[in-house]
């Protein structure tokens, strides 16, 4: 019942305090820019919604919510999203209008903003949902929106790369820009939340799998997910190097907890892939077998922790901040094609080249109250700790 109440009261909670800063930051000339391409009433509606407070949910809420009969779930969930999504999208549009260093004026960023504006308009034009028939039409709209936003991460990456190129030309190449980093962290975290809400609603329409409530698996085995992710990472490594170091897994495969397996797979894949690369690069010319990557799954009362350790030589302490930045990438990073074959940010493959894998994985962990920490021993190897909150009652962070 708690979830139901939270969902139903969503639209009633409107607190301007947190959102006012957007309007303060968005000067008239900046608003005019969006006003150039959108009708006045849409612009007004967006900034009015950007003043409303976003309503967070938690993994536990989603699970409790799944205990309702399916028809009631569908209508309540659709009504919640119909109110909540425009608010979340409007927050992002207001933010995208006022980025520092001229990032707002980059055409890829304008493209992303227009996707948000378009989805906002469609949601606001949709009539109130009262029956299963309108719920079904609303779900079609959600699928359409989900698909429209699939390339947000790579397209934003192009905008950021353009900015980085300019900054480098001005001699600021690898300097940190905390404002940009903070914006991207918040922006991508918000995107994870929006896509989970939509994905979860769509999943309620699909045939229910055993031990699943939508995208959430109530009996998710971290050892099993890790084994799958290891197999995928080793096969990517095989394609790239024609060889792949061994990976040893320590932990009880029978242990399960409630989590979203696709997120867990994404994060573990990213960490194992990085470790395999480091080990391969270090032991390329060695005669002996390279040391195995070690994956330990630990079961605590608060957290489930997955540690991925390698002896791939590590990185210096001074280089550690770089692994988390969106502005740093290695020479091999190609810009993505803009055509439709580019996949969304929910599969790991598209991120491989952009150096976004670790910061995005950390956001996935933080979304449900966890964290990702990486420590390195220069000259030896790297340890990554993926902490996953086990209680699942941490409310989602809402940038």
Looking at the annotation, which residues are catalytic? Answer: 266, 270, 273-274
Q: At a CB cut-off of 8 Å and minimum separation 6, what does 368 contact? A: 58, 59, 259, 260, 263, 388, 389, 392, 394, 396
The nearest distance, CB 371 to its own copies, in angstroms, is: 7
Question: Whose Cβ is closer to its own copies: residue 74's or residue 272's?
Answer: 272
Nearest to residue 290, comparing CAs of 274, 279, 281?
279
CB of 375 to its own copies, least distance (A): 5
Return the number of the residue (154 or 381) whose C-beta is nearest its own copies.
381
Cα–Cα distances in angstroms (integers) from residue 191 to residues 168, 200, 203, 340, in the given order: 28, 14, 18, 19
Q: Report the interface residues with its own copies, using CB under 8 A.
A: 296, 298-303, 305, 307, 314, 316-318, 371, 373, 375, 377-381, 383, 385, 387
Please calculate the CA angle 368-373-377 and round it to the nearest 5 degrees. Answer: 165
**Both tokens assigned to 2:** 């708690």
d(CA 90, CA 92): 5
The residue among 135 and 383 lying less far from its own copies, judged by its C-beta, is: 383
CB of 373 to its own copies, least distance (A): 6
240 vs 299 by CB, closer to its own copies: 299
Closest CA to 149 of 77, 93, 99: 93
296/398 with CB nearer its own copies: 296
Euclidean distance between the first and the last CA atom of the chain, given in angstroms as a whole number: 27
User: Shortest approach of its own copies to residue 309 CB, angstroms?
Assistant: 9
- How far apart CA 253 and CA 250 sit, in angstroms, is 9
Rounded Cα–Cα distance for residues 80 and 284 (Å)? 54
Give the residue with the Cβ less far from its own copies, 285 or 301. 301
Q: Least CB distance from residue 283 to its own copies, whole Å?
A: 16
Q: Specify whether the CB–CB gap between 314 and 284 falls below 8 A.
A: no
CB 160 within 8 A of CB 103: yes
> What angle is formed at CA 320 by the lines to CA 315 and CA 321, rounded to 5 degrees?
160
Rounded-to-integer distance, Cα 222 and Cα 308, Å = 13
Residue with smaller CB distance to its own copies, 206 or 302? 302
Query: CB 291 → its own copies: shortest distance, Å?
Result: 11
Q: Closest distance between its own copies and the C-beta of residue 18, in Å? A: 24
Q: What is the DSSP letter of 9?
A: T
Beta bridge partners of 388: 304
Strand partners, 139: none
């Amino acid at each position: 019942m708690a979830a139901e109440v939270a969902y139903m009261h969503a639209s009633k909670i409107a607190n301007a305090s947190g959102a006012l800063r957007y309007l303060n930051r968005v000067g008239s000339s900046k608003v005019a820019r969006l006003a150039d391409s959108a009708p006045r009433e849409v612009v007004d509606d967006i900034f009015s919604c950007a003043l409303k407070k976003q309503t967070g949910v938690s993994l536990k809420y989603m699970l409790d919510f799944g205990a309702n009969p399916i028809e009631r779930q569908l209508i309540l969930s659709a009504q919640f999203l119909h109110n909540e999504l425009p608010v979340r999208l409007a927050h992002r549009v207001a933010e995208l209008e006022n980025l520092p260093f001229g990032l707002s004026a980059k055409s890829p960023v304008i493209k992303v903003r227009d996707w948000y504006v378009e989805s906002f308009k469609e949601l606001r034009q949709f009539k109130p949902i009262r029956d299963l028939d309108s719920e079904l039409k609303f779900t079609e709209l959600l699928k359409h929106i989900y698909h429209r936003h699939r390339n947000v991460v790579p397209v934003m990456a192009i905008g950021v790369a353009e900015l980085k190129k300019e900054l480098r030309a001005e001699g600021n190449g690898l300097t940190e820009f905390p404002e940009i980093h903070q914006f991207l962290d918040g922006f991508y975290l918000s995107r994870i939340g929006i896509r989970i809400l939509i994905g979860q609603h769509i999943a309620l329409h699909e045939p229910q799998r055993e031990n699943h409530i939508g995208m959430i698996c109530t009996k998710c085995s971290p050892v099993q997910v890790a084994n799958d992710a290891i197999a995928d990472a080793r096969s990517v490594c095989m394609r790239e190097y024609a060889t792949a170091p061994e990976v040893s897994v320590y932990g009880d495969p029978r242990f399960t907890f409630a989590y979203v397996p696709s997120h867990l797979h994404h994060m573990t894949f990213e960490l194992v892939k990085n470790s395999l690369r480091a080990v391969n690069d270090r032991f390329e010319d060695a005669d002996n077998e390279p040391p195995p990557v070690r994956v330990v799954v630990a079961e605590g009362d608060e957290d489930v922790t997955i540690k991925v350790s390698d002896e791939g030589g590590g990185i210096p302490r001074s280089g550690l901040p770089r692994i988390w930045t969106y502005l740093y990438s290695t020479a091999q990073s190609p810009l993505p094609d803009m055509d439709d074959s580019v996949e969304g940010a929910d599969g790991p493959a598209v991120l491989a080249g952009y150096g976004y894998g670790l910061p995005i994985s950390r956001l996935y962990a933080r979304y449900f109250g966890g964290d990702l920490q990486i420590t390195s021993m220069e000259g030896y190897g790297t340890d990554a700790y993926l902490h996953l909150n086990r209680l699942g009652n941490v409310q989602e962070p809402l940038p």
